[in-house]
Copies of this chain bind each other. A is one copy, B any other.
């Protein structure tokens, strides 16, 4: 039987994602409504190892629902990858009298959560990653906001694209996952999407651009995932060198995609994950991650989450191609 939880810690870790704040708010207020005492850990695992705990009351999370970023800040931690750091992390939680921890973050953060669980801590992970690259959940916190940011950016670029005859290369985040680029490409009507998961040669790219020009298209918008090779700047150079009709221009969205006020969807997903994470812990679940499965919030073992790879739904690539005509 699970021991009673009286003190709950909550932290955000890794790359931040819009919606982390509504998630913190939901964890804190649900826990307080269940008579728990809540402590925030600042600066992710780095802060955990250094013992950066702050007490969080219901009012401390007022007015954060609409804020991008995370009020607990976040950081990547080298130490947490070493056993010595992991031991120190557990020690800090114990010395603070923490009975359970909710850890909000991406792949690396959930690996850390799994380690803490293996070392005996009552842990619940919550997936937050704009790349939607976490196994076991349909959606991660932050994806919807990032996607809207990218789509709005491409809408603006299209305004000017229609005024000239140009090719626009728009680089989105996604070092290993083409999810954002693919979805942004479909939802903004891009002429081409280049992602690491779908091999495309430079010749194929050049030919598509050339063909679009010959068809009399006003513009050619190409969404490129960060992890595609050759990279965006190099692709632009090649297109311009080949003289295909359109001249290529580059936009690199960068961290712009991580910010912004969370969308309604992300607030709701973050809120549900936060509420349920506390409830699952109180129900005795351990070493799990909250996950969206269709409409329902379920749990998936962290062990399973970190040992498998989420596939990008490349079947949608075909839709992108049909609709771009």
Q: Is B263 within 8 A of A255, CB to CB? A: no
| Assembly stoichiometry (copies) | 4
Q: Is B263 within 8 A of A163, CB to CB? A: no
A294 on interface, CB distance cutoff 8 Å: yes
Q: Is B265 within 8 A of A165, CB to CB? A: no
Are A67 and B295 CB-contacts (below 8 A) given A265-B144, A268-B183, A271-B187?
Answer: no
Report the minimal beta-carbon distance from A19 to chain B, rounded to whole angstroms: 11
Q: Which of A69-77, A206-214, A283-291 is the interface stretch?
A: A69-77
- CB proximity to B under 8 Å, residues A65-101: 65-70, 73-75
Chain B residues near A29 (CB-CB < 8 A): 322-323, 325
Closest chain B residue to A26, Cβ basis: B323
Contact among B67, B160, B275 with A255 in the assembled complex (CB-CB below 8 Å): B160
Cα distance A66–B156 when bound, in Å?
Answer: 10
Q: Is A252 within 8 A of B255, CB to CB? A: no
Contact with B along A133-166 (1 / 0, CB 8 A): 0000010000010011111110111111111111
Contact with B along A27-52 (1 / 0, CB 8 A): 00110110000000000000000000
Q: Is A70 within 8 A of B163, CB to CB? A: yes
Cα distance A22–B323 when bound, in Å?
Answer: 10
Are A144 and B264 CB-contacts (below 8 A) given A65-B187, A165-B75?
Answer: yes
Q: Is B255 within 8 A of A186, CB to CB? A: no
How many residues of A are counted as interface, with CB atoms below 8 angstroms from the partner's CB atoms?
79
- CB proximity to B under 8 Å, residues A238-282: 249-256, 258-261, 263-265, 267-268, 271-272, 275
Are A147 and B319 CB-contacts (below 8 A) given A153-B256, A157-B255, A162-B69?
Answer: no
Chain B residues near A70 (CB-CB < 8 A): 163
- Shortest 8 CB-CB contacts between residues of A and residues of B: A294-B294, A68-B159, A156-B259, A159-B259, A251-B254, A160-B258, A16-B163, A69-B159
Q: Chain A interface (Cβ within 8 Å of chain B)?
A: 12, 16, 18, 22, 25-26, 29-30, 32-33, 58, 63, 65-70, 73-75, 138, 144, 147-153, 155-166, 168, 183-184, 186-189, 218, 233, 249-256, 258-261, 263-265, 267-268, 271-272, 275, 293-296, 319, 322-323, 325
